[in-house]
Amino acid sequence: MLRLWEWIKAGYLRIVDPFAAWLVRNNVGPNTITTVGTLTYVIGGAIYATGHIRTAGWFLGLTACFDVLDGKVARASGRTTVFGAFYDSTLDRVADGAVLGGLAIFFARNDVLHGVPPWAGTPMVAMTLLGIIGTFLTSYTRARAEALGIDAKVGMMQRPERVVLLSAPQAFFGLALGGWVLMLIVTLLTVTAWITAVQRIVYVHRVTQAIDHPELHPAGASVPPAVATGGRDPGLPS
């Protein structure tokens, strides 16, 4: 399955390459692409909220290329910046919140839209809200770890997989089986997001043991500089 996923990603990148080249030739900035991409996620979330699940799935699937294009254009045009990375990461959270928020509204309006069984509306609102928290936690734990000088890109649910789960199944199945497919996808996304957050917490705990408990580790154990200074650059004032 991992090899198949890598093959799919490689094929997708080959399809996106000509669009990236066209954007570079036309001097389109990567931050502009990031902004437009985020707006498409907001629109997709709004479509979900109205109950047009299959339409939203196709829309998000077709516009997901913006997630890749901004980075490719930035590298190809030599316009990679620190702010660009910060801006992209920040708007990714807006995009995730918009899509999952749209699904939460859809479930909350189940008495009108009748997309899932009558008893499932409120539990699925709660599940989706947990999904939003879990998704934000996966991003926060990685960002906080990187601030400590630790690369915590671990766990089973990275952003590409999350984008696929939020679009592809809905595009093909919509509200099939009385909404059960959608409910299972949202539940899967929520559970795996929380598992990923826990995996990253455990990973950072293991890496930081050398500084938190030096008596248990040999002298001179390798510790990221930022970890040793509590996440602050030793050359800068706190």
| Closest alpha carbon to 95 in 51, 120, 59 | 59
- Dmax (CA) of the chain: 65
Give yes or no for a contact between 42 and 83, defined as CB atoms under 8 angstroms apart: no
Query: CA 82, CA 59: separation in Å to the nearest integer?
Result: 30
The CB density around residue 49, as the number of other CB atoms within 10 Å, is 21
Concerning whether 67 is annotated as a catalytic residue, the answer is no
Active-site annotation holder among 70, 92, 96, 151: 92
**How many degrees, rounded to 5, is the angle at CA 224 between CA 223 and CA 226?**
125
What whole-number distance in Å separates Cα of residue 180 and Cα of residue 173?
10
Structure tokens at 35: 């902004």
The DSSP code sequence of 81-122 is -HHHHHHHHHHHHHHHHHHHHHHHHHHHTHHHH--S-GGGHH
Catalytic residues: 92
